[in-house]
Amino acid sequence: MVTQKTKKNEQLKSSAQTVGSAYKVDKIAFEGPKTPDRGYTVRASYLKKPHSGDALIEIFKDGILIRNFLFPSYKVWNIAAHFQDIVDGEIENSVKGYEMAAWDGISNAVIILPEQAE
């Protein structure tokens, strides 16, 4: 019996595999967590040239690839650091966790230059 959830999972899996197949993996940066967070896991892979400045991020739900995208390779560990936020966002149908992982750490910050400190 095919359910709506099964159809949706198959559509997500099919579209996600298409994105990832265009890139050649150099090495896996990390996979995890060992114990899935509410069924979610992640794999981050460094890519070969000409895409070596990017990493392929793959998000899985219950072992099924549901989302993948390119992410700057120098920020790849932000995905691991904010994975709980990413999972919260997936459950809430929000991109907030991804935004946190992608944040540059300085946007909207107040910067006081030495001549302004007086």
Average pLDDT across the chain, whole number:
84
Model pLDDT for residues 62-113, shown as the tens digit of each residue: 999 999 999 999 999 999 999 999 999 999 999 999 999 998 877 777 777 8
Token pair belonging to 90: 């997936």
The distance between the two most distant Cα atoms of the chain, rounded to a whole number of Å, is 72
Q: What is the DSSP letter of 105?
A: S
Model pLDDT for residues 57-71, shown as the tens digit of each residue: 999 999 999 999 999
pTM (predicted TM-score): 0.74
